[in-house]
Amino acid sequence: MNSRDLGLACAAGALAVDQGSKLILLYGLHFIEMAPGDRIGVLPFFDLVMVWNPGISYGLLPARGAAGTALLAVFSVAAVAGLGWWLWHSGRKLPAAALGLVIGGAIGNLIDRLIYGKVADFFHFYVHGYDWYVFNLADCAITLGVGALLYDALLRPQPAVGDRQTGRSE
């Protein structure tokens, strides 16, 4: 599998897992269906909580009405287009997979924004009085993808001198 195909597969996988989890939690199966504010305790440090996020990560830049939602949607489309261009031209597997995760997560949240006007978040972790924001699997994909891009840019071992001369890549 070449790097471009790997990135596209990661994007499709992240999108499918995100949208599938949201459909199950929003519209339910026989055992679960969540409305805003509902909370289901799963583990002593983890709950499912239904929250609508009108902004971006951590609730930053909340959209105020249809114009704000449209602006965030346009920003998302532009980001996906730019990241898609980067993925298309990426010749290495790690950055391609990372870009795919970010793209898939961004499209997942964009779909929510276009359908509902805000993003559905469900997962809430907490321990010893500390808690993390409520997030979804698209947010996880974006975070993992950005982390992998940072690793690749900052910590990836540099190729040996002979590899640089031959131009060999992953």
Q: Is the dihedral of CA 135, 27, 62, 131 positive or negative?
A: negative
As annotated, the active-site residues are: 121, 139
DSSP symbols for 57-88: GGG-S---HHHHHHHHHHHHHHHHHHHHHHHH
Rounded Cα distance, 83 and 120, in Å: 23
Q: Indicate the helix (H) or strand (E) that contains 16.
A: helix 3-27
Tell me how far apart the alpha carbons of residues 133 and 155 are, in angstroms, rounded to a whole number: 28
Contact 26, 120 (CB under 8 A): yes
pTM of the model as a whole: 0.84
Residue ranges covered by each domain of the chain: 3-155
pLDDT tens digits for 6-21?
999 999 999 999 999 9
Tell me the pLDDT tens digit for each residue of 49-80: 988 888 776 666 666 778 778 888 898 999 99
C-alpha dist (Å) from residue 16 to 20, 26, 113, 170? 6, 15, 16, 27
- pLDDT top residue among 61 and 124: 124
Query: Cβ distance 46 to 125 under 8 Å?
Result: yes
